[in-house]
Amino acid sequence: MEGKNQSQRILNAAYKCISTKGYANVSLRDIAEEAGVVLSQLHYYFGSKEGLFTEVIKMMIDKYLKEINEALSMGETAKDKMLYLVNFFKDLLKNNPGLFKLLYDFTGLAMWSSSFNSLLKDLFNDLSKMIEEKILSNSALGENFRNYSPRAVARMILGAMFGTGIQVILDSNGNEILDALNAIQIIFE
Amino acid sequence: MEGKNQSQRILNAAYKCISTKGYANVSLRDIAEEAGVVLSQLHYYFGSKEGLFTEVIKMMIDKYLKEINEALSMGETAKDKMLYLVNFFKDLLKNNPGLFKLLYDFTGLAMWSSSFNSLLKDLFNDLSKMIEEKILSNSALGENFRNYSPRAVARMILGAMFGTGIQVILDSNGNEILDALNAIQIIFE
DNA sequence: GAGATATTAGGACGGATGTCCGAATTAATT
DNA sequence: AATTAATTCGGACATCCGTCCTAATATCTC
C-alpha cells in the first residue's frame, strides 16, 4: 500500500526531526517513530545513518537552489534584485526557520565530516555564483565595486545573510535583528 | 603536585578536543584521556558534561571579547578600524581556525539548548555593540549610513565576517575566499 | 604526628545508539 | 495457482555514553 511512499515518509520525518532538534540530538529511532515506521526500515532504504543524512542534505540543497534562484529572477536593477533576495531571506527566517536551522546545522556537521563537506561546500559555491551572475554581473555598479571582484562581493553578501540569519535565530526576540538584513543593501546605495 | 592545575588541564583538554573534533563527536572519556586524567575527575571538578562545556564556552567568549576589543582599539577612522578588524579576522581564520570552529560549533549548540543559548546570544550582542561603538559611532560616515541604524549595520558587519568565515573554513583551499572578507569594506568606500 | 579534609583512582550502573539478522507478510512474475 | 522477489516487522547484538559510588591516596590543620 505504501510502496515508494515509505522511503519518502522516512525522508520527510528525518527532515522534520533534524530541523526541529538538531542532527546531534536525533536518533534513528526518533525518525522511525516520527515516520510511523519500524527502525530496520531506515537501513533497508538508506543503508546507514550517513546514507539517510546524505539524502536529507540533498533534499535541503535542492530547496535552497530552487527558492533562491526564484528570488533572484525577480527585479531588474542590482538594487532591486538585492531587495528581493533580502526579503526572501527575511521571510524564510520568519516563516520557515527550520530550513535555515537545517542549513546551519549541516554546515557545522560538514566542518568535521569529510563525507558531508563537499556537499555543503558546493552549495555555498553555487549560491555565491548565482548571486554573482544574477546581481553583480550585468548592470553598471558604482565605482566602489571596482576595488573588489564580483566573486568576493558575492561571497560576502552570502556570508552577511547567513551570519545575520544565525543572529536572528539565536535571539528569540530577533525581530529587531531582522532589520540588520536590510543593511546589506548599504553597498548598493 | 597538580592541585588547581588539574581543573585547568581538563579545561584545556576539553577546548582542544572540541575545537578539533566538534562537540558532538567528543566524549568525556576523550577529554579525560587528552588531559591525562581519570574520567571521574571531570565530574569532580565540573559536576556534569554541561557544566564543563559551559566553562569552555566562557573561556572562548573571554578570548573573543578580549582579542576583538584589542583589534578595535587600533586605527583612527572608521575605514581604518574596519581594516584592522578584517585583518584580525583573516589572521584568526588562517592561524587559529580552531577558535572559529569552536564559535561556530557552540553557536549551533545554542540553537537547540536553552542552557547555552543565552551565553552565545550575549556574545553576539556584545560583539555587535563593540563594533557599533568603536567603528560606527563617532566619525562622520557617508550619507548611505543615514538609512540604516548603527545597530543594524554593526549586526550586518558581524554577520558578514562570521558568514564569510565559515565559507573559508569549509573550503580546504579557502585562501581565495579570504579575499571576500576585504569586500566588507565596500560599505566604507 | 594524628585526625580531618580534599583529591585521585578505578570500576560499575542503567540506558541509549547504530547495525544486523531471520522470520513473516505482501507484491510481482510466470 | 505456484514460485520468486520485494518489503515489513520485531528483536537481538555489541558498543559507547554520562553518571555515580566506594576505596585509596595525598594534603592540610591543629
- Which grid cell is B162? 562570521
Cβ-Cβ contacts under 8 Å for B66 (sequence gap 6 or more)? none
C-beta neighbour count of B104 within 10 angstroms: 19
> What does pLDDT average to over chain B?
94
- Which residues in B lie closer than 8 A to residue A149 (C-beta atoms)? 179
| B19 → chain A, closest CA residue | A112
Residue B51 CA, distance from chain mean position: 20
* Strand D nucleotides in reach of protein CB atoms, 7 A cut-off: 7-12, 16-22, 26-28
Nearest to A22 among B111, B121, B161 (CB): B111
**Could you tell me how far CA A162 lies from the centroid of its own chain?**
9
The burial class, CB within 10 Å (0-12 / 13-18 / 19+), for B30 is middle
Distance of alpha carbon B53 from the chain centroid: 15
Domains of chain B, CATH where assigned: 1-47 (1.10.10.60), 57-188 (1.10.357)
Question: pLDDT tens for residues B31-48?
Answer: 999 999 999 999 999 999
Q: What is the pLDDT of residue B147?
A: 87
Instruction: Assign A3 a pLDDT band (cuts: 50, 70, 90).
Output: very low
Residue A106's Cβ-count burial label (10 Å; 0-12, 13-18, 19+) is buried
Tell me the three cell numbers of residue B86: 578584517
User: What is the phi/psi pair of residue A172, to 5°?
Assistant: -60, -30
Q: Which H or E element spans position B3?
A: none
Distance CA B61, CA B67 (A): 10
pLDDT digits (tens, 9 = 90+) for B155-178: 999 999 999 999 999 998 888 899
Helix B114-131, helix B150-170: angle, nearest 10: 110
Q: Cα–Cα distance between A11 and A64 in angstroms, integer?
A: 17
User: Which positions ≥6 away from B169 have C-beta within 8 Å?
Assistant: A111, B93, B97, B100, B101, B104
Euclidean distance between CA atoms B120 and B129, whole angstroms: 14
Q: Is the pLDDT of residue A2 over 70?
A: no
Residue A9 CB: number of other CB atoms within 10 A? 17
Q: Is B187 on the interface with A (CB under 8 A)?
A: yes
- Cβ within 8 Å of residue A160, ≥6 positions away: A184, B156, B159, B160, B163, B164, B184
Mean pLDDT of chain A, nearest integer: 94
List pLDDT tens digits, range A79-128.
999 999 999 999 999 999 999 999 999 999 999 999 999 999 999 999 99
- Cβ–Cβ < 8 Å for B177, B115: no
Nearest-CA residue of chain B relative to A117? B170
pLDDT digits (tens, 9 = 90+) for A30-81: 999 999 999 999 999 999 999 999 999 999 999 999 999 999 999 999 999 9
Give the model's pLDDT for residue A144.
Answer: 73
Percent of chain B residues past pLDDT 70, beyond the cut: 96
Per-residue confidence at A175, pLDDT binned at 50, 70, 90? confident
Per-residue pLDDT averaged across B54-81, rounded? 96
Judge whether residue B1 has pLDDT over 50: no
CA of A142 to C1' of C1 (A): 86
CB of B115 nearer than 7 A to strand D: no
Which residue of chain A is at minimal alpha-carbon distance from B21? A112
CB A72, CB A81: distance < 8 Å? yes
pLDDT of residue A189: 79
pLDDT digits (tens, 9 = 90+) for A137-160: 866 677 777 889 999 999 999 999
